[in-house]
Amino acid sequence: MNPYSALDRSERRRRHRRNRRIIVAAELTAIAAVLAAGGIFVGKKLTGGSPEQTATATVPPTPESSSIITADTTAPAETETTAPSPAADLLAQANRLALGYDYDAAIALLQNDAEAAALPEIQEAITGYEAVKASLVRTPISQITHVFFHSLVVDNSLAFDGDEDEAGYNQVMTTISEFEKILQALYDKGFVLVRLHDMAYETTDENGNPVMKAGDIMLPEGKTPFVMSQDDLCYYPYMTGDGFATRMIIGEDGKPACEMKMPDGSVSTGAYDLVPILENFIQEHPDFSYKGARAVLAFTGYEGILGYRTAASYADSETYEQDRAEAAKVAQCLRDNGWELASHSWGHLNLGTVEWERFKTDTDKWEAEVESLIGPTDIILYPFGADIGDWRPYTTENQRFSYLYNMGFRYYCNVDSNPYWVQLGDTFIRQGRRNLDGYRMWKDISAEDPSSRKLDDLFRSEDIFDSDRPTPVPEM
């Protein structure tokens, strides 16, 4: 049977619409629950946090170091116009690393070439990087915010066209214009993208047991680390024709790109979603990414990933094998470019409440159908933001946690509207995520009580909100 038959498609549309309605309701419940708990973990010292984690070295940047930063910013352009020398080339490479806050790598690169390292300009650069490095500040991981998005709306007139899907898009999606403004606003405020794996990492304790430790995120004073993620990077069939990209591909430059089927039936390649837009932004602003960090991308499995119909239910499709091979290549390209890949469950289930047997089969199906394509991952972003426990640290008594832990998961993210909610346990880390979508921005804009606004630490929603959106954005 043709998996693209009208019957299947409408069934899937129904199922997904229902899912999305539940998403929103559950996210609101989760937010309300945390608010009711008095945001008890916000800013609080967390289990396993080391004393060093809160100690910060606040050495003001020396005049030399700031002049070097300024000079370095223009260095690559200068080297192109003057006669290229091996030293200039090396300095440009080191500069690129330093712009991404990897001063150790920049210094190592310069010291590696013994001949070059003897040159005065190289020695000066090393001294400069060392001075900047000495002035860096450690951010406590308990104060790191995490923002997330769904597929971006490319064509507002198709997404907001009054059809049955409009309300859902208006609530949980973000438009490209909004996303670009958000990136600029975050950049202007000094936000710097970090990986979840920068926040904490797994190592072994003195007895050889696995243990999670807080990472050392070292940034210049005035810079603020944050994590970004994107959910449901699957380009579900129900979105076709509604103004979204249709799949991800590897572009001619070897970077991830998007394809989009246009209303006239042609297929266009371009920056039609978060991944290529953020890639381009970081190319222009390398100081927006800490040591090459990109966002976390989360996949369900029931319709396949990245716009490829890789789910087992499509096994009879003529393009099934090719879709699986292509999706795996794109996933590898994403990893190679610094993106972190994550589970969003196979069937977009509420993993906190779904019955136990289904929890297990769903998790196994994700491993069989998605992890087999994208490779091992230790991150799970809960569908609906619905956690598998309350705010107290997970224990092995929690059989859902134990199951996910044994599948290799160490990073667990729910949804929470507070600026930050981070819990470092002995064997895991949990973080709350904030939805930057039409629903959340409209809540800020229409708030009667200014103290209920949630996004002002990031941007003013009035400056971002797309005027193409129907208002009011409907309640979930």
Site residues (vs Zn ion, CB under 5 A): 231-232, 383
Dist. CA 262–CA 253, nearest whole Å? 23
- Minimum Å gap between C-beta 218 and Zn ion is 33
Range list of β-strands (E), 39-152: 137-138, 145-149
Query: Is the CB of 276 or the CB of 383 nearer to Zn ion?
Result: 383
Query: Is the CB of 291 or the CB of 434 nearer to Zn ion?
Result: 434
Distance (Å) of CA 436 to CA 20, 216, 228, 339, 394: 16, 27, 10, 20, 27
- Minimum Å gap between C-beta 19 and Zn ion is 8
- Minimum Å gap between C-beta 354 and Zn ion is 14
- Minimum Å gap between C-beta 353 and Zn ion is 16
Q: Which residue has the tokens 């609101």?
A: 28
- Minimum Å gap between C-beta 231 and Zn ion is 4
Dist. CA 433–CA 165, nearest whole Å? 24
Query: Is the CB of 232 or the CB of 378 nearer to Zn ion?
Result: 232
Phi-psi map region of 343: left, alpha, beta (phi>0 left; psi -120 to 50 alpha): beta
Give yes or no for a contact between 222 and 190, defined as CB atoms under 8 angstroms apart. yes
Dist. CA 308–CA 247, nearest whole Å? 7
Q: Which two tokens stand for residue 363?
A: 């998790």
Query: Is the CB of 129 or the CB of 439 nearer to Zn ion?
Result: 439
At 392 the three-state DSSP class reads coil
Give yes or no for a cis peptide into 472 (omega within 30° of 0).
yes
Query: Is the CB of 383 or the CB of 432 nearer to Zn ion?
Result: 383
Dist. CA 77–CA 107, nearest whole Å? 21
| Residues forming a β-bridge with 171 | none
- Minimum Å gap between C-beta 306 and Zn ion is 15
Query: Is the CB of 310 or the CB of 350 nearer to Zn ion?
Result: 350
- Minimum Å gap between C-beta 144 and Zn ion is 22
CA 12 distance to own-chain centroid: 27
Query: Is the CB of 23 or the CB of 107 nearer to Zn ion?
Result: 23
